[in-house]
Amino acid sequence: MEADAKLACILNRRVSTSPSATSDVPYYTEHSATPEEEEPPRWPSTTSQILTFQDFRRQLQIHVRSSANIPHLFQDHINSLPQSFRDRPEIRAVFEAMMIENTWRDEPGAPRIKIINNIDSETTPPWEFHYSNHMWYGSNIPTPNAKKLKGCDCVGRCNPKSNTCACAKRQRILHNLHEDSKFRGFAYDKSGQLVFGDDQYPILECNDMCACDEDCMNRVIQRGRKCKVDLVKTADKGWGVFAAETGKIPKGTYIGIYAGELITDADGESRGKIYNHFGRTYLFNLDSYHLKYVNNEEPEHDDFDNKYVVDAYHAGNFTRFLNHSCAPNCSLFSVYLNTPDLSTPLLALFSTRDIEPREELSFDYSGDQTADAADLPKKADAIHVKCNCGAPNCRGVSFLAKRALLQQLITLCQ
Ligand SMILES: C[S@@+](CC[C@H](N)C(=O)[O-])C[C@H]1O[C@@H](n2cnc3c(N)ncnc32)[C@H](O)[C@@H]1O
């Protein structure tokens, strides 16, 4: 192939679909760079210096977004328009376009999300957040050191049974942290479905530093959402996420990253108090079991203090609209895509059973389906809203943050 043609071919290729990477626009920056981010990937200086796709991908830097730079001008502008304008049905198309516009780089093939409301006159969900698939780092959160990110050296597709694939080895170690884990290979089968079922083991995908091909079986989330979902107004839980009319979602399907601001637990606590007052909360703790080892907690203690919380109130994607159910059909999993920092996994949603077209997607906010509502204090706030999930085994209270609940329990008992 001619040098120019080959270069054009490389540059036109989708470089990364990872939600935590810059995708195919390496120079794209949304805020002033910190020293960590400053070095851009080196493009070939002349057309005769041809890089292979793998070489090029290995030069990508982690792109850290700061929560101080969450865009809001668009939302501010819409909110400044008269209510009569925002009530017009056409504004729905604007919201839908905004969702496409803000995520096409990470998942260009993702099916469009429709907004449907057959309940009342609210045209769209509130224009209160920046639509994004990414994690936005709070000012007091350490930014990951891109230079520490290590990949595998596999040629072609990785073999989950390999003893030389660094990613297969790391996934095995994550399994071994769970004494009961029966899994030893990658988190996915060959068709890209999660094999864990209800077991919330952490997932480690091949990353931008790996030499393996883009169609490696250990790259699922980074290829983006494939399932069809709609944002639908419900009668008694606000907005929710439903499988589209034509969209059966098989068990083990990747749904989306629970994107948002990554903040400290202390910040989560203080924001939670405010959210409780207006009855809606978007806070989720990073408290996956394996993090107690990462956080150097005493292994014999089952409960541990989580360090970080994801808050999808100011920034997030459609997953922020998933409601709680006591009999959920989805679950959140800790995932490592393009970060060397084990304490800050992403939270990714997968279906845990087949979901029928038009069925609501839900997950258990407490992460603990055995929690007993009778043992917990009841209060009319966002933590203790009456659960309207409608499941036969409904516990009656929606558990929005285990930690916050425990704190309330302690306060009531003292
Ligand atoms: C993460 S948001 C989910 C999206 C929300 N329905 C909306 O319209 O933005 C969580 C909030 O949704 C509501 N919610 C979620 N699950 C619920 C349930 N099972 N029953 C009642 N309200 C629920 C509560 O107000 C909760 O604070």
Which neighbouring-strand residues pair with 333? 348
Q: What is the mean pLDDT of residues 245-264?
A: 96
Domain boundaries, given as residue ranges, for the chain: 3-64, 65-367
Whether ligand 1 lies within 6 angstroms of the CB of 388 is answered as yes
CB neighbours of 35 closer than 8 A, spacing ≥ 6? none
CB 125 within 8 A of CB 231: yes
pTM above 0.95, yes or no: no
Q: Please, is 398 exposed, middle or buried when counting C-beta atoms within 10 Å of its C-beta (0-12, 13-18, 19+)?
A: buried
Atom of ligand 1 nearest to the CA of 281: 27
Instruction: Tell me how many degrees the CA angle 346-352-355 measures, rounded to the nearest 5.
Output: 115
* Pocket test residue of 119, 319, 324 for ligand 1, highest count of atoms within 8 A of CB: 324
Whether ligand 1 lies within 6 angstroms of the CB of 323 is answered as yes
Q: What is the pLDDT of residues 266-320, one digit of tens each?
A: 999 999 888 887 778 899 989 887 887 777 656 555 666 788 999 999 999 999 9
What is the CATH architecture assignment of 65-367?
Beta Complex (2.170)
Q: What is the mean pLDDT of residues 369-374?
A: 49
Q: What is the ipTM of this complex?
A: 0.99
CB 203 within 8 A of CB 336: yes
Q: What is the pLDDT of residues 161-215, one digit of tens each?
A: 999 999 999 998 888 777 666 777 899 999 999 998 777 889 999 999 999 999 9
Ligand 1 center to residue 315 CA distance, Å? 17
CB 313 within 8 A of CB 275: yes
Q: Cα(395)–Cα(373) distance, rounded to whole angstroms?
A: 5
Ligand 1 center to residue 166 CA distance, Å? 40
In 3D, which of 282, 230, 254 has the Cα closest to residue 349? 254
Classify each residue of 72-96 as buried b or exposed e, where b means 16 or more C-beta atoms within 10 Å of its C-beta.
eeebeebeeeeeeebeeeebbeebb
Residue 405 corresponds to which tokens in the numbers above?
Answer: 């609940």
